[in-house]
């Protein structure tokens, strides 16, 4: 399993905020520029568009929660292969992933409000 890359996500958000502050037209790009800049390719050839990163992060959080739920169900059914400590660790992983994603969402909402309050 791959971990949520929060550092990469935060760096992407900072880059977007910096572009908004330094760019021309008060940081507002024409619609065609935004559409063209929506998706970029990194050195490994993987897509690094912001929506894709968010979708991956949400999917990862959902996956962690599903694994925790499945393990909890197995423990409740008396599966001898599932230990309580493993279930608790997985539940904490899912909880932390959800909390981290909630914080990212809060930062995105805050950034959106800042951008919307900018004078044109």
Angle at 62 between CA 58 and CA 68, to 5 degrees: 150
Mean pLDDT of the chain: 76
27-60 residue pLDDT tens: 444 444 444 444 445 555 455 677 888 888 899 9
Q: What is the pLDDT of residue 99?
A: 93
Q: How confident is the model at residue 74 (pLDDT cuts 50, 70, 90)?
A: very high
User: How many CB atoms neighbour CB 22 within 10 A?
Assistant: 8
Q: What is the pLDDT of residue 34?
A: 40
Predicted pLDDT at 11: 72
Q: Are 97 and 60 in contact (CB under 8 A)?
A: yes
Percentage of the residues of the chain whose pLDDT score is greater than 70: 62
Residue predicted with more confidence, 38 or 62:
62
As to burial, measured by CB atoms within 10 angstroms (0-12 exposed, 13-18 middle, 19+ buried), residue 62 is middle
pLDDT given for residue 5 in this prediction: 63
Per the CB < 8 A criterion, the answer to whether 104 and 57 are in contact is yes
Interval 60-78 mean pLDDT = 94
pLDDT, position 3: 52
Give the model's pLDDT for residue 119. 85
Q: Domain ranges for the chain, please list them.
A: 6-116
């Amino acid at each position: 399993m791959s971990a949520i890359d929060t550092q990469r996500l935060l760096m992407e958000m900072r880059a977007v905020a910096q572009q908004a502050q330094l760019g021309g037209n008060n940081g507002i790009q024409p619609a065609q520029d935004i559409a063209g800049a929506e998706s970029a390719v990194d050195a490994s050839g993987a897509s690094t568009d912001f929506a894709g990163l968010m979708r991956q992060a949400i999917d990862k959080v959902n996956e962690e929660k599903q694994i925790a739920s499945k393990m909890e169900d197995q423990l409740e059914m008396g599966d001898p292969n599932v230990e309580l400590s493993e279930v608790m660790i997985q539940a904490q992983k899912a909880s932390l992933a959800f909390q981290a994603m909630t914080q990212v969402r809060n930062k995105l909402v805050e950034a959106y409000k800042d951008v919307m309050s900018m004078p044109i």
